[in-house]
Homo-oligomer: A and B are copies of this chain.
């Protein structure tokens, strides 16, 4: 059934040397037209596809970039924000790689077994895009010794690699500012994600910045904490409701998932959104549009993150010694109903892309 022919057979069948076959398949020059015809014919008849491993070995280049992301586990389905986020990143990476003629190898690395997997992948690719929480710091460093790495993670992360992230701080500042300036809300609070999450921390910082800018009192801590899941948002909301005897005027959530969870609790408590309490999220997941009320939130350029990361990686491959880069992609505001606006969705840039050339790489 399967042929698995080699360049030798194609060469023999078309009466030329393997060198000529190779030339026909890649160079586009260095042979006569009739020769080309014969080679192509033979290749076609045999159904020959050049062996990627052999080619990669000879070219010292696999033509593959790897994408590592955290294994979200069995429970991670379409409802999961991180999952959605990563899917988009994957799409973006695929697009950018294909555009450059490369393919993308994906792998979900989890915990300890992740290291082995990562090593295996590292051997198969020319470079690696690694998303937050898919690899420990030491593992990153170790693998970084043998393969170029671009990290997709929050700004605060290690500066030892090329890095791309979205503007969490600016995005949070923008929604919060919207609540303050457009709706004139002055009592605002932030519901954070898991402790230690750089994303959450930066969003909280952006929130605080907006308050500061408006001359409002700045809280030392978030009002409550969830874990970026719907269930976590529910819990956080209930905790607040049970603990405090009066609510702020607006709640800025660390992400959409938690806002969705909170919304169901608030509905239960018959608290009107947005008339009694304004709500905002972060991420702009698909469901945000379909909620009632629809959720005002901050859109992250998820796919662009993947694209940018791969492009950066390919640049690095081309030029190993250039200055290391950090790219911060702009977020945008998706204004819907939950903040109090009534117009149809509009969106506005929250910041513009920034590139920081950090330090130059040591050469060698």
Contacts and interface: CB of A to CB of B under 8 A. Distances in A.
Range for the number of chain A residues in contact with chain B: 35 or more
Interface in A313-333: 320-321
Contact of A1 (B4, B90, B303, B320): B320
Contact of A362 (B1, B64, B260, B290): B1
A3 B146 contact: yes
Interface stretch (A31-39, A43-51, A163-171, A191-199): A43-51
Contacts of A303: 77
Contact of A52 (B50, B54, B123, B143): B123
Contact of A106 (B56, B88, B106, B124): B106
A307 B260 CA distance: 30
A146 B2 contact: yes
Nearest to A148: B2
A84 interface: yes
A55 interface: yes
Interface stretch (A113-121, A217-225, A348-356): A113-121
Contact of A88 (B78, B107, B122, B321): B78
A55 B362 contact: no
A147 interface: yes
Interface string A286-330: 110111100000000001000000000000000011000000000
A342 interface: no
Number of copies: 2
A357 interface: no
Contact of A90 (B90, B101, B260, B291): B90
Contacts of A52: 53, 56, 62, 120, 123-125
B364 A64 contact: no
Interface in A18-39: none
A87 interface: yes
Contacts of A119: 49
Among all A-B residue pairs, the 5 with the closest Cβ atoms: A53-B56, A52-B124, A47-B145, A87-B87, A52-B123
Interface of A: 1-5, 47-57, 62-64, 66, 76-79, 83-84, 87-88, 90-91, 94-95, 98, 101, 103-108, 117, 119-125, 142-143, 145-148, 260, 285-287, 289-292, 303, 320-321, 361-364
